[in-house]
Structure 1
Amino acid sequence: MEKILSVKNLTKKFKRVVVNNISFDVERGNVYGLLGPNGSGKSTTFGMLLSTINPTSGDWFWFGKKGTTSETLKKIGAIIEQPNFYPYLSAETNLKIVAEIKGTPYARIDEVLSIVKLLERKKDQFKTYSLGMKQRLAIASALLNNPEVLILDEPTNGLDPEGIIQIREIIGTIAKQGITIIIASHLLDEIEKICSHVIVLKEGNAIYSGRVDEITTNTGFFELKADNNTSLLAALEELQWFTSVKIEGEIIKAQIRDDASISASGLNQKLSEKGIFLSHLAKKKQSLENQFLELVKTN
C-alpha cells in the first residue's frame, strides 16, 4: 500500500527532548491514532510535520517528497488548535472567508456542511454554536480544499458523550471517502473505535507503531470457572502458559504469555484430560486502554 507519510528519526529539543528520534509510516486510506498522555510530544510532532515547528533533526516525506512544501499543504487539511471563526458571522460566511483564502469554490461549502451535519444551521451565527458544533465546523473548514490527508489534534477534547459520538461518526464518513486521517488523542476508547493503526508516544518516544487489532491481540486472557476452582487454579499454574492466574470472585482470570498459542478448545481439552470440567470458559483480548496503560506505565 502507498505510503502517504514517512517519518525518519524525527527529534525536537527545547529545554528538554520533546520528540525523541521517532519513526513511523502512514499508508493511504487508513485512520491513524497518535496516542499518548499530555506532554508526550503529539502536538509537537504535528507542528513539525506541518512546518510550523522546526525539527532539531530527522526527516519526513509527504507523498514521497521530503519536507512540507506549499504544494504539499494544499493536499492536507488540519485542525491543530481551537476553532477560530468570527463569532457574529454565520457558519456559511465564515466558510466563504476560508474558501477565499484556500482558493476553493463556494460550491464546496454546502457539501462539507452536509458531511459534518451542519447544513441546516449554516445561516446561524458561530457564537450560537455548541462546542461540538464549533468543532464540526472546524472539520468542515479543513475539508474545504478536498484534502488527501486530514490531521486532527484532540478532536473530541471537552465534548460530552453525544458530541464524541457525532465526531466519531463524521470521521467514519470521511474515512469511507478514502481520505487518510491522522488523529492525536488521549481518549483511548475513541482511538480503538475509530482508528485502524496507532502510534503510541511516551515521553517523546514512539514505543509502538502498528495496527490497532495487533496491539490488542498481542496479549489476552481466559476467564474460567469450574465446580472446584481450587483444582482449576492449580492445573492452570501447572500448564505454565500464563503469566498470572488469579481468582476474581467466582471467576479465574489467566493471563496468556506473549509466546503462548492456545485456543479455548485446546485449553478445555487439556483441562478435561486432568479431570477438570468447566462451567464457564471465554477467551478475551485486552482493550487498547489496558494495553496502552501497560506500555506507558512508569517502570
Structure 2
Amino acid sequence: MTNSIVVTSGLTKRYGAHTAVDDVGMRVDAGEIYGFLGPNGAGKTTTLRMLAGLIRPSEGAATVLGGMPGDPAVLRRIGALIESPGFYPYLSGRDNLRVLAKYRGLGRAEVAEALDRVGLADRADDKFRTYSLGMKQRLGVGAALLGRPDLLILDEPTNGLDPAGMAEVRELITELAADGHTVLLSSHLLSEVQEICDRVGVISGGRLIAESTVAELRGAASLLLRAEPMDVAIAAVRDVLGGSEVVLGGGGAVLRTDVGIRIEAHPRIAPVIARAVVEAGADLLELRIDEKSLEEVFFEITEGAMR
C-alpha cells in the first residue's frame, strides 16, 4: 500500500462570508513531486498554510506525516517556503540561515549542508540584499531544507524568476525528490509542472476539481495525418491499423489512439503508416504525434468547473 505523506478530507477555510478553500480532499504520496495547480486566488496558498500548521481549518481534517498540522513532532519533519522568502537584507545568506537554524536547535554543519545543496556555498558570505531573485529563492529553499525534512512545501518557488532562474529551481526540486524528499509545490506555471511533477491536483474557486498523474490528465496521444487525396490516405491507414478509429478534423485526419492503438506502445507505427500512405498513391503532407499539453487540459477542466 502506498505511504501517503499528506491526506486531507473536507478541508475548508472561511474568512467571514468568503470561502477560500472548500471541501478539499487530496493525497500526496511518499517520494513524489505533487503539483498543486490553480489560478491566483484559487486557494493554493491557504491550503498550504493549513498543511504547514500556520492557520487552522474551519472544517475538515488533515494529517501530515501521520500527525496533525502544527504538531511540533510534525513540524520538525517539514520544510516550508510559503509566499516570498523573508530574510534580513543586511545579513549574509549564511548568517540568515544560522538565525533560523538556532531556532530549530541545529548547528553550523546543517547550515553549510543546506547552502551546498542549493548551490550557494560560494556566495554564502555575501549580503542577502546583493542576491539575484533566483538566489533569494534558492536561499528560501535552503531554509526549508534545514534539518533534512521529509516533506518540502514550496509555494510558487519559481515566482518572478527569469527562464534561467526557473531552470535552476526546477533542477533543484528534481534533485531533492531524487534524494528522497517528498515535494508539494504550488504553481500557476503549467509548463514547469508538466516537466517535473508526478501527480497534480487542480484547484479552482477553492475546490479541488481534479487529482491525477500528469499523463492521465493529458490523455493518450493521437497521430495527426494530412495527405492528398485524404480519402486514399485514410483507406491506407485503416488497412494498416485494422479498423482503428480515424476521425476527420479541420487540420486533417486524427487517429484516435484512446479508442484504438496507443502510440506510446507502438513507437514504429508512424513510419509504417507513412509508407502505406505513399504506396497507396497519396502525397503525405504531415504526420506527427499530437497530444494535449497540461495547459490545455487545465483550461478545459477549470472552465468546465466554472460553468
Normalised by the length of structure 2, the TM-score is 0.85
CA pair 10-278 structure 1, distance change in 2 beyond 3 A: farther
**1:256 CA displacement:** 3.6
2:178 is the alignment partner of 1:172:
no
Aligned to 2:206: 204
**1:285 CA displacement:** 2.0
Instruction: Verify the 8 A CA contact 2:232 2:282 in the aligned structure 1.
Output: no
1:196 & 1:59 partners in 2: Cα distance?
A: 24
CA pair 244-104 structure 1, distance change in 2 beyond 3 A: farther
Instruction: Verify the 8 A CA contact 2:246 2:253 in the aligned structure 1.
Output: no
1:214-293 alignment to 2 at 5 Å?
214-216=216-218, 218-229=219-230, 241=245, 245-247=249-251, 252=252, 254=254, 256=256, 260-263=259-262, 265=269, 268=273, 279=284, 280-293=286-299
2:282 & 2:110 partners in 1: Cα distance?
A: 64
CA pair 150-67 structure 1, distance change in 2 beyond 3 A: closer
Instruction: Verify the 8 A CA contact 1:113 1:137 in the aligned structure 2.
Output: yes
> Which deviates the most, 140-149 or 67-76?
67-76
CA pair 131-231 structure 1, distance change in 2 beyond 3 A: same
1:191 & 1:178 partners in 2: Cα distance?
A: 19
CA pair 67-155 structure 1, distance change in 2 beyond 3 A: closer
Structure 1 alignment gaps of length 5 or more: none
Quick one: percent identity of the two aligned structures? 37
2:96 is the alignment partner of 1:90:
no
Aligned to 1:104: 106
**1:168 CA displacement:** 0.7
Normalised by the length of structure 1, the TM-score is 0.87
CA pair 168-210 structure 1, distance change in 2 beyond 3 A: same
1:243 & 1:203 partners in 2: Cα distance?
A: 35
Residue type at the aligned position of 2:11: L
Instruction: Verify the 8 A CA contact 2:54 2:70 in the aligned structure 1.
Output: no
2:10 is the alignment partner of 1:6:
no
Aligned to 1:126: 128
2:293 is the alignment partner of 1:294:
no
2:213 & 2:205 partners in 1: Cα distance?
A: 21
Q: Deviations over 1:59-104 (max 9, x none)?
A: 1112223443111011000010211111111111111111101111
> Which deviates the most, 23-32 or 224-233?
224-233
Q: What is the RMSD computed on CA atoms of the aligned residues?
A: 2.7
Count of residues paired in the alignment: 289
1:92 & 1:193 partners in 2: Cα distance?
A: 31
1:12 & 1:87 partners in 2: Cα distance?
A: 34
Aligned to 1:75: 77
CA pair 19-219 structure 1, distance change in 2 beyond 3 A: farther
Structure 2 alignment gaps of length 5 or more: 238-242, 264-268
1:116 & 1:4 partners in 2: Cα distance?
A: 24
Instruction: Verify the 8 A CA contact 1:62 1:68 in the aligned structure 2.
Output: no
Instruction: Verify the 8 A CA contact 2:6 2:62 in the aligned structure 1.
Output: yes
CA pair 143-37 structure 1, distance change in 2 beyond 3 A: same
Instruction: Verify the 8 A CA contact 1:220 1:255 in the aligned structure 2.
Output: no
Aligned to 2:163: 161
Instruction: Verify the 8 A CA contact 1:243 1:257 in the aligned structure 2.
Output: no
